[in-house]
Amino acid sequence: MDGIVDWLNDNSGAVQAFAVLALVAITAVYAYFTKLMASEIREQTLAQDRPDLLIDPLQLSGWHEPEAEADNRLLHTYPTGIDCRVHNAGRHAAKEVSITILHPDTLYEEKAKGFLPAGETWFVTIHADPILQRISNRSPQGLSEWLGANAQRRQPPSGSSYDAGAVVSYRDVHDVAWATYLVLDLIETRDDIKGEITDREISEGRQRLIRLRQG
């Protein structure tokens, strides 16, 4: 015992330095886990308070046939209008709600609603708007490009060869921006003999929820 006491006395500086380092390490670990716990609690709170908006395309109002363009781009057929139903399946209201269709070859109008209470449904028709494209000097944007520019975290490609989608954006009670997007793909049925298109329909992919960049 005397030997241990003598060793401690002889090395008191080193012992104190080690104790300080240990205390700093323990404090850092405690601060890290405290921050992690606070972040998890915040995410849980956001999840509980977040509206849950679901998109349901109901009917197409017609088709636009592509025309030749000077730059010989590959143009796609697109719906001239889509009737949609947006339902808030969450427990809290959504504010600053807006919905549009994204398509690489044309702009669609954007419809907005200031407030969508929990449990309520919004019926809306969205039309393609080539005039808007000419007067606004905006270029059409496919779904994948929009996700890359607006999603807070990197998203996989849309998975649609059509690269189109319906997007509803909104804010929750904490003023956090969210979006639900629904991948849309074009299915064409052709006559086996003549090869002519006999029917077109929009196939709906999986809906996904993303957090938007704060702007």
Q: Is the per-residue pLDDT at 170 higher than 90?
A: yes
Mind listing the pLDDT tens digit for each residue in 5-58?
565 566 666 657 666 777 777 777 777 766 666 556 555 555 566 899 999 988
Average the pLDDT over each of 22-26, 115-119, 154-158, 166-170 and give the range with the smallest value: 154-158
Give me the mean pLDDT over the 171-199 stretch.
79
Check residues 64 and 162 and name the one with the higher pLDDT. 64
Rounded to an integer, what distance in angstroms lies between the CA atom of residue 81 and that of residue 91? 31
pLDDT for position 99: 96
Q: Is the sign of the CA dihedral 143, 129, 132, 187 positive or negative?
A: positive
CA 67 from chain centre, in angstroms, equals: 32
Rounded to an integer, what distance in angstroms lies between the CA atom of residue 97 and that of residue 123? 13
Mind listing the pLDDT tens digit for each residue in 106-149?
889 999 999 999 999 999 999 988 676 667 677 788 888 899 88
Average the pLDDT over each of 9-13, 84-88, 155-159 and give the range with the smallest value: 9-13
Residues 6+ apart with CB under 8 A from 104: 76, 140, 141, 142, 145, 163, 164
pTM of the predicted protein model: 0.70
Give me the mean pLDDT over the 82-86 stretch.
92
Rounded to an integer, what distance in angstroms lies between the CA atom of residue 51 and that of residue 40? 19
pLDDT for position 24: 76
pLDDT band at 155 (very low <50, low <70, confident <90, very high): confident
Q: Is the per-residue pLDDT at 61 higher than 60?
A: yes
pLDDT for position 70: 45
Largest CA distance in the chain: 104
pLDDT band at 60 (very low <50, low <70, confident <90, very high): confident
Rounded to an integer, what distance in angstroms lies between the CA atom of residue 167 and that of residue 156? 16
The fraction of the chain above a pLDDT of 90, given in percent, is 28
